[in-house]
Each structure stands twice: as structure tokens, then as C-alpha cells.
Chains A and B, each alone.
Chain A
Amino acid sequence: KNQVEQSPQSLIILEGKNCTLQCNYTVSPFSNLRWYKQDTGRGPVSLTIMTFSENTKSNGRYTATLDADTKQSSLHITASQLSDSASYICVVSAKAGNMLTFGGGTRLMVKP
């Protein structure tokens, strides 16, 4: 069964600090992995999309890593800002039928 597990479920950090969110998956055959940011009451917004051959991809203060061998990904947020407070969702796409499997998300709160 395809699964995507995210950790931690929730996280509180102080403004300016860095943090790393984790995503482990068992989706097969793997096509790509996406990280989304979802503000409360809004739809998800894409941060990064990574394919099998990509190890690292950055988008501003967000850096995603992918280890296809261990089936793990991380999202690192540098110098956090109050506006980073949101849910971060890891979504893995399988080649067969282009099915998407959603992780449960990590709810990040950045405090001043």
C-alpha cells in the first residue's frame, strides 16, 4: 500500500530559527515528490517538485532533499519568518496512473 508519513505532526519554532521537516514514503513505482505549503483556510501552494534523479532543490529559503534509495525527503526552512506558519504537505506521485499519495502534513508555527 502506498503511504507517505510526515514528521513531526506539529512544530513550534522562534522567528529566525531554522527547521527541518521529514517525509518518508513507500510509493512505488516512484515518479516525483512535491512539497506544498498550505496556509489556514487556503489551498496548497507548490514549493518544490523533485524527480528520481534530483537530490536537492531550493526555492528561496526552502530547500528540499530527496534520497530515493531510502525513500526519504526533507524540507529545510532557513531563517524562519512569521509568514512561514502553515501546514507543509508532502505529496508523492506514482508512475502507474499518476496517482498522488498525500502525507498528513506538518503544522509549523513560527513565534516572534
Chain B
Amino acid sequence: GAVVSQHPSRVICKSGTSVKIECRSLDFQATTMFWYRQFPKKSLMLMATSNEGSKATYEQGVEKDKFLINHASLTLSTLTVTSAHPEDSSFYICSARPPDRFNEKLFFGSGTQLSVL
């Protein structure tokens, strides 16, 4: 079946540094990928929709200069947390949907636990 790979699974960084998270669709081309943030014991919150070849669409309240999204190819989207601070510590998850519009399946990556010291 379709697989979405997310890397790294865990990252610890110092405050002020930038962190890049990769999301790859391994056996299908994803024109659209989604990025979520999840706090402990809470459900997923959509941050932005990543569109291949165009600018990402950010949800209300999400700083686009803080969370840079690049969807340069049909199989790769990246989320860069710029100048990370402790409050950015969270679990970040991506998802992708195969392009067949009759296929409603949505596949999630395994998530990235970001800890900012």
C-alpha cells in the first residue's frame, strides 16, 4: 500500500536554530501534502496545506515566516521551523493523498518529535 515517510523521527535542538522536517510519498505522486501539529494528549491541528509548485496555504494563526513549507517535487514536502523556541516543541505530522480523486485515502507520516532546549 501507499506509504508516507517522515524524517527525522526525533530531533533535539538549541533555541534559535532552524530545523527541517521532510515528508516523502514513497509510491505515489502527491500534489498536495498536509502538515499538522499535535500537543500531548490532543488531536491533530492542521497547520498548512502544501501544494506542489506553488505557495502553501496556512491555517489561521500559523506564522508562515516561522514555519516555512517547500513542496518542490511531487514526492517531497519539507517543513522548516525557523529560529525555534521552546514553545515550538511539539509532535509534527505530515500526510499525503494519492491524486486519484475517487480515492479518499489519506496516508500519514510517522511523525517528528521536536524538542527545543
Using a CB–CB distance below 8 Å, which chain A residues touch chain B? 31-32, 34, 36, 41-46, 49, 51, 87, 89, 93, 100, 102-105, 107
Contact = CB atoms under 8 A, between A and B. Distances in A.
B90 to A, nearest CB: 12
Interface secondary structure of A, over-half rule:
strand
Interface residues of B, number: 20
B106 A34 contact: yes
**Which of A36, A51, A100, A107 counts the most B-chain CB atoms under 10 A from its CB?**
A100
A93 B104 contact: yes
A41 B113 contact: yes
Interface stretch (B11-19, B37-45, B63-71, B73-81): B37-45
**Which of A36, A43, A49 counts the most B-chain CB atoms under 10 A from its CB?**
A43
A41 B44 CA distance: 12
A46 B111 contact: no
Given A36-B108, A43-B95, A43-B109, 6 more contacts: A41-B91, A46-B105, A49-B105, A102-B43, A103-B43, A104-B42
Interface in B61-117: 91, 93, 95, 104-111, 113
B25 interface: no
A36 B106 CA distance: 10
Contacts of B110: 42-43
